[in-house]
Amino acid sequence: DTGVSQNPRHKITKRGQNVTFRCDPISEHNRLYWYRQTLGQGPEFLTYFQNEAQLEKSRLLSDRFSAERPKGSFSTLEIQRTEQGDSAMYLCASSSTRSGTGGHEQYFGPGTRLTVT
């Protein structure tokens, strides 16, 4: 399977703990995105990388959130001092800017469901 993969699929943590999620994009894709989705809402953009460079960050990404893509392959999203409001589905997507088309289709992984108790 060459799709986007995310680990873990589910994470339950206590308020105040740190958590880290991993995303492995489609192998030839140079862009990687993180989104957050809560019940009844569409995905909300958090940040994205082109290769190893973090190009854009949403205002939703508070200083408790940090993302890395050290070698331009997989990425990690860390949340420090988790709060109950962080409970959500965290989605990763990847795309290629080499397709030559105007818009770049983003392909999503299955998500990591975070529950903060």
Partner 1 sequence: EDQVTQSPEALRLQEGESSSLNCSYTVSGLRGLFWYRQDPGKGPEFLFTLYSAGEEKEKERLKATLTKKESFLHITAPKPEDSATYLCAVQPGSQGNLIFGKGTKLSVKP
Q: Which residues bind partner 1 (CB under 8 A)?
A: 4, 31, 33, 40-45, 48, 50, 55-56, 58, 91, 93, 101-111, 113
CB of 18 to partner 1, least distance (A): 24
CA distance 86 to 8: 16
CB of 38 to partner 1, least distance (A): 10
CB of 106 to partner 1, least distance (A): 6
The rounded Cα 55 to chain-centroid distance in angstroms is: 14
CA distance 104 to 94: 9
Q: Where are the alpha helices (DSSP H) in the chain?
A: none
